[in-house]
Structure 1
Amino acid sequence: MEISNKKRTRRIKRIFNLVVVFLLLVALFFVWKENNAGALIAGGVLVLFVVGFQFVNMNYVYYSSEGGKLLVRYYPVVSLFGKEYNAIEFDKHLLYSAKVKKVLLFSDLYLSIRTSKGIAEYPEVSLAGLSREEIQAIQHDLTEILQLVR
């Protein structure tokens, strides 16, 4: 099974950029009109919007369980300090546990594998950029893989 949220994240990034430009223009308009209170409020809203978006940690996610390997590639849609490209790849038979935890409105993927030295846990992957159906499909696929492995 293959899942990619490339189109959706592209649209989310465009909306983010448009909102940032709009808020910046509003702040500049208030500066031009010498309305300091309006400029501060617009600037504060802009900063809160950007920080909030960073907190959500929306990722581009590519999930593939084709063949004998499980592959998850992800990177942040919007990053202030450069993009960190990450990938998780391992043989399916090494999968020890897989959980999708929902915190507030956002879901995270937690994966653990068996190694020769014990159990290794990968860092969580934010699934906030995926639709509910895509998250459920990933959960179902991982459940099937775990049933085959055990």
Structure 2
Amino acid sequence: MKIIPKRQAMVINNIENVKRIKKVFYLGAAFIAVLALVLFFAGYFFPALIGIGIFPFWYFFFQVADYQYIEFNNEKNKIILRYYKVIKFGKPAYNSIEIQHTKLLRVYFEDSFFGKLTDVTLIVKTNRGAAEYPSVSLTALPKADRMRLKIALLEEV
């Protein structure tokens, strides 16, 4: 008789990191804007223009890093992954993936930029074969939580 170990229920969210990331982004953006404004009114037009030109790079960095709020829960025979982009102008798009434990077919983790940026892709069984959910960025999760999430998802497969 094979003994199947009981699945460990786990809840992970990164709300504290999200607050810190938003604070860094908005304080940095405000600093760049105020510095450019002060330079402009002080008569330093070219340095003010350079300061204004820095902002798109600041914004682009946060878009490339793709920081997302993550809430993972694998209780009650379901895997629930809720996420949304942290830095976005306009209304954020809230997304959720909810699948039964038995429907999870494969999980792919992609590390880039020397392991600093991590994405997860879930593939599930459907009546017509397999379906792939869009990749979810785990970059805003602390490294320990990323490993816990990775272990939990790989145990499900």
Task: Kindly report the root-mean-square deviation, in angstroms, between the aligned alpha carbons of the 2 structures.
Answer: 0.9
Unaligned runs of 5+ in 1: none
Whether 2:55 is the aligned partner of 1:64: answer no
**Matching residue's letter, 1:129:** A
> Within 5 A, what are the aligned runs for 1:78-117?
78-104=87-113, 105-117=116-128
Distance 2:92 2:75 in 1: 26
- TM-score for both structures, normalised by structure 2: 0.90
Q: Which residue of 2 aligns with 1:139?
A: 150
Q: Which amino acid aligns with 2:40?
A: V
- Deviation at residue 81 of structure 1 after TM alignment: 2.9
Structure 1 residue 120 displacement after superposition: 0.2
Q: When the two structures are superposed, what TM-score results if normalisation uses the length of structure 1?
A: 0.94
Q: Which residue of 111, 125, 130 corresponds with 2:136?
A: 125
5+ unaligned residues in a row in structure 2: which ranges?
1-9
**Amino acid in structure 2 at the alignment position of 1:48:** F
1:46 aligned partner: 55
The runs of at least 4 aligned residues of structure 1 exceeding 6 Å deviation read none
CA distance in 2, matches of 1:99, 1:67: 23
Name 1:33's counterpart in structure 2: 42
Give the total of aligned pairs: 146
Task: Tell me how far apart the structure 1 counterparts of residues 63 and 36 of structure 2 sit (CA, whole Å).
Answer: 21
Separation in 2, partners of 1:110, 1:90 = 13
Between Structure 1 and Structure 2, the one with more helix by share is: 1
Q: Indicate conservation of the 8 Å contact 1:72/1:87, yes or no.
A: yes
* CA drift at 1:37: 1.1
- Distance (Å, rounded) in 2 between the aligned partners of 1:50 and 1:143: 34
> Percent of pairs identical after alignment?
29
Provide the rounded CA distance (Å) in 2 between the counterparts of 1:66 and 1:120: 22
